[in-house]
Structure 1
Amino acid sequence: KDGNNVEQSLLGLTDLPKSKKINFFTGILIVIGSSMGAGIFFKSQSVLESNNYSLFLAIFSWIIASLAIVLMGISLLDISAKNKGNLSIVGWNHRFNTWMTYQMSKNFTLYINITLTYFFMPLYAIMSFQDGARIFGFYNFNTQADWAIWTIIILVISAYFIVTSGLKAKLATIQNAITLGFKIFALVATIIVGFSIFIIEVKNGNKLDIHWFKKIEISDPTKPMSFSNIMPFGGLFISWAGIFFAYDGFYVSTGISNELKDPKKTPKALLIGLSVVTIIHLIVALAMSLNGRGDFKEYSNFLSKNNLAWIYGLINLSIGIGVIGIINGFSLWIPRFIEELIQMHDVPFYKKLVKKTNQSYPVVGVVYSLVLILPIVLIFCILGATLYYPKEDPSGYYQLYGSGMSSLYNFADLMSNWISLLVFAFMAIAFFGAILESRRTPKKFSKRFKVVNIIVTLFLFVVVFVNFLYPIVDLILIISQKNTLQEEIYQIAFRGRLLSFLTLILFLAIIILPPVFINVFKKKRSKIIKNNQ
């Protein structure tokens, strides 16, 4: 199958007759639809926080990261064209890099990215549903183990989409169209509400907590020091990793190249489409940041006072459905991804399954996905709810979500931050491998690719390096403040930073150690065979 078939199924392109190509404008709309993620609603606050609540720096962060996404999309035209199949980033590393790099990207995607996406994405959807339902009188289940009930719901959501979208591309397309409609409503409504409240508050003479340039108080001994405070513009690099999360499916849009009437216009369609998404994201981020906090929850009080709480409820319910759309798209791809790895003899139990695979109706991939994903999701839900610490929440808002849910949501944030960063780290490695190949075979790559890819690769490597560095620096800084901070403040900050660092180490161990052991085993085995001959 063509490498873009899964993406084209989700975008509704597979049934097009060969003679019926899409026009330039339709291509732009497809780019916009596939790149406009629901992550904007969950990361605008962290972007503002990373930049010390400076609205100017937050806007600057969005602009730079979004430009990088546009350039990545253009680079991927050359990269995806040279790689057939449904392996995406794993396939790019298989094509352009060493066996070791390919194995590491495969381990990350199969055992971390795929499994934990079904942990934190349903949780983000549930959080939005709870925010919306709260307006209509439903807060939680009011039990001693609300988290257990929500865990069952998470498992049901995951299983439903893996089975339905995994087996039926047409059903995935229908579900995508429905969820996209809700996502667009949430984006438009958020913009209208955010700016309307801002204008009303200004007219009424109410002072808003907005800072264009925030003064950084490094020497305050009562507050934990952080990497983003001591390093000039350090918050920019940290916020960029969060912004990447908002563009959850942007590389899907490269699949329009073969379907355009004039394929040469693909870079232009990508540029315009991704630019429109960037503008939308900027406006939404600004609308959510005009309250000074970057969180749409801040608007609930204003709307409630004016008997408009139902608007807040509908927007949050729509955000939740929009997040479900991300799960839907992911579920279309995963079974086919797994079946391709089975065909490559690159996953456990491939010998028993390889003859049963069928990319057009991937029953094996669906069953494999369910067996792999659901137990891990269950384990992480139990760990997060019972062992992880709740969000730092003086207002008590997160307690309204029910027992164990504050801890679970905090745990989900930790997982999603690292996974988003690692996705782009492996993308950077794939880009670097493509640069090396373009130097060996320059005629096989466009002139545009050589320039753009170098810029993108350098940017990604710097962002990834700084984000790998910051938990180490943060941990060192908090340990140095042990005798100056209040014990409770120190313990909360130390525990959070230690767990963030340990999570990164665990992920890197899962990614790196298996291929290293396999490589060592192969060398020892070949040496034994050679000595016996």
Structure 2
Amino acid sequence: MNQGFERRYGLLTAICMVVGIVIGSGVFFKAQTILQATNGNMPLGILAWIIGGVIMLVCSLAFATMATKYEKVNGIVDYAEATVGHKYAYFIGWFMTTIYYPTLTSVLAWLSARYTLVFIQSCNPVGLKDLDPVTGPECMVLTLFFLCAAYFVNAISPRLAGKFQVATTFIKLIPLILMAVVGIIYGIASGQLTENFSNTVQLTGDMANPVNVNPLFGAVVATAFAYEGWIIATSINSELKDAKKNLPKALTIGAIIVMAVYIFYYVGVAGGASNKDLIYSGATVAFINIFGNVFGNVLNLFIAISCMGTMNGLMLGCTRGLYSVAARGRGPSPQVYRQVDPETNMSNNSAIVGLMLCACWFVFFYGANLAPNNWFGVFSFDSSELTIVTIYGMYIPIFIKFIQKATDMSTVQRYVWPILAICGSVFMVIAAIYAHGYKPYVIAKAAGSFAIPIVFYLIVFAVIMAIGMFIDKGKGGGETEEEKEDEKTLG
């Protein structure tokens, strides 16, 4: 049966999509990375968080403006279609379906499994003390279980998936807000905050910053990846009540909440331990100093729940990925993947493909990053971060065409937000290239070979895009009269 999705999500769910997807495991550890990059310079670290947050915010505001005008199947694909055209929208949708959603979802499933096992180990159960929570078979099995569970919830009961997203978002905010408030108060009372703001740390050995690396730029690069993922919230615009009003609110409010939580948490952590301790031991030492050893161990459970919430939001995008392409008459067998089950009101065929792609990318992630012997040689790269190179690059033509076509919008909406978003997108691409392109690393130690990861990622990206072009069944158009009218809206 071919029909649209029902309007089942409200503003709160949409906001929790933005907040819950962006805030994953990274926020708990980025304080350490940023302090290392800045040699413990707290004001410089705060400035880095602000710059990274502003980039996310201006991009959110640019898309929020588009969300007031376009509402169809999948936000980012809709915006690409209305501004650049049907072909570009297809390649955006194909990229999101085959690379962006499943790569991130598979990694978050692994992180969920990893920190669940770390928490279990901290409880000292008999027989589990010696298991490997990173690469052990228990971690791999639990990862696949989490992937299947997330698929089941999103494909069988989308409403339950929405409620789970709301619940995990509030749960993951508990330790962050608690540390932000208590850590700042504790730090002021003990004088630790004053000391950390006044002094830097001279790092040595592996912790020392690379030569000629600008501290602020290095820190902003670290925040860039912590702020990634908010665009996935636009995948539910066709299921959102009053989407043209609520999605812009969700993007804007969600971005502001994330930015505020990150900054205040960073300051709160600095109130719980010295900069040197944070750099060498991570944020856990601050939690233990303030709340004791028990809460320090419980923190692993909060991290696991945080990862689960992010994974759930990502899987929500995965299950709808191929549907957003097929609904436009594009991609492989569009008549098959645009079908919506009348009982679950979900595109089950699209959801199954999404799960299969997650499994494939998890095999790649394991073989490229976790396996004892590298499986993919020079084609081994971190699939959880490099997609940022292409997703932000793909935003730029959308912003440019919006400026050209949005003649009925205000100056701020038509020029200010898109231009700032273009600048932010360019920066994110440069940041990703800087982080992964100019830092060669040993791919196979035994062979002594080196590679630049970003180059081989782009080769894989090009091959997958070529496959998408080859199997596209809608090359001749296939758009309905309603779709043609949508494209004329801006012109």
Q: TM-score, normalised by structure 1?
A: 0.70
1:315 aligned to 2:299?
yes
Residues 395-416 of structure 1 deviation map (CA, whole Å, 9 limit, x = unaligned): xxxxxxxxxxxxxxxx99x322
Taking the aligned partners of 1:428 and 1:144, their CA distance within structure 2 comes to 40
The Cα of 1:30 is off from its aligned counterpart by 6.3
The Cα of 1:66 is off from its aligned counterpart by 1.6
Partner residue of 1:447 out of 382, 394, 411: 411
Partner residue of 1:463 out of 400, 403, 428: 428
Q: Secondary structure at the match of 2:173?
A: helix
Aligned to 1:68: 55
Aligned to 1:57: 44
Which amino acid counterpart does residue 370 of structure 1 have in structure 2? L
The Cα of 1:383 is off from its aligned counterpart by 4.1
1:37 aligned to 2:23?
yes
Partner residue of 1:372 out of 357, 360, 375: 357
Structure 2 residues without counterparts, runs of 5 or longer: 375-379, 477-491
Query: Is this contact kept in 2: 1:303–1:312, CA < 8 A?
Result: yes
Aligned to 1:415: 383
The Cα of 1:236 is off from its aligned counterpart by 4.8
Residues 454-507 of structure 1 deviation map (CA, whole Å, 9 limit, x = unaligned): 1121222133134325544334xx8xxxxxxxxx9x979x97x83533453344
Distance 1:330 1:257, change over 3 A: closer
Query: Is this contact kept in 1: 2:74–2:237, CA < 8 A?
Result: no
1:285 aligned to 2:266?
yes
Taking the aligned partners of 1:325 and 1:449, their CA distance within structure 2 comes to 32
Taking the aligned partners of 1:295 and 1:310, their CA distance within structure 2 comes to 22
Query: Could you say what the CA RMSD is over the residues aligned between the two structures, in angstroms?
Result: 4.6
**Matched ranges for 1:336-375 at <5 A:** 336-350=320-334, 352-354=336-338, 360-375=345-360
Partner residue of 2:225 out of 242, 257, 265: 242
Taking the aligned partners of 2:6 and 2:422, their CA distance within structure 1 comes to 23
Distance 1:212 1:245, change over 3 A: farther
Please identify which structure carries the higher helix content.
1
Partner residue of 2:403 out of 432, 435, 444: 435
Residues 100-135 of structure 1 deviation map (CA, whole Å, 9 limit, x = unaligned): 543442332122112212221122223333443343
Q: TM-score, normalised by structure 2?
A: 0.75
Worse-matched range after superposition: 84-93 or 466-475: 466-475
Q: Secondary structure at the match of 2:70?
A: coil
User: Identity of aligned pairs, percent?
Assistant: 14
Query: Is this contact kept in 1: 2:234–2:247, CA < 8 A?
Result: no
Which amino acid counterpart does residue 367 of structure 1 have in structure 2? I
Aligned to 1:17: none
The Cα of 1:152 is off from its aligned counterpart by 1.4
Residues 256-309 of structure 1 deviation map (CA, whole Å, 9 limit, x = unaligned): 99649x95x997886566434422210112233554266796354576689921
Residues 50-89 of structure 1 deviation map (CA, whole Å, 9 limit, x = unaligned): 4454322221111122223232232222212343333232
Taking the aligned partners of 2:89 and 2:37, their CA distance within structure 1 comes to 33
1:386 aligned to 2:371?
yes
The Cα of 1:429 is off from its aligned counterpart by 3.5
The Cα of 1:338 is off from its aligned counterpart by 2.0
Larger radius of gyration between Structure 1 and Structure 2: 1
The Cα of 1:143 is off from its aligned counterpart by 6.7
Taking the aligned partners of 2:68 and 2:295, their CA distance within structure 1 comes to 44
1:426 aligned to 2:390?
no
Aligned to 1:501: 454
Taking the aligned partners of 1:337 and 1:59, their CA distance within structure 2 comes to 36
The Cα of 1:216 is off from its aligned counterpart by 9.7
Residues 415-473 of structure 1 deviation map (CA, whole Å, 9 limit, x = unaligned): 222234543333334223322322xxx02x33331222111212221331343255443
Aligned to 1:85: 72
Q: Secondary structure at the match of 2:124?
A: coil
The Cα of 1:159 is off from its aligned counterpart by 1.0
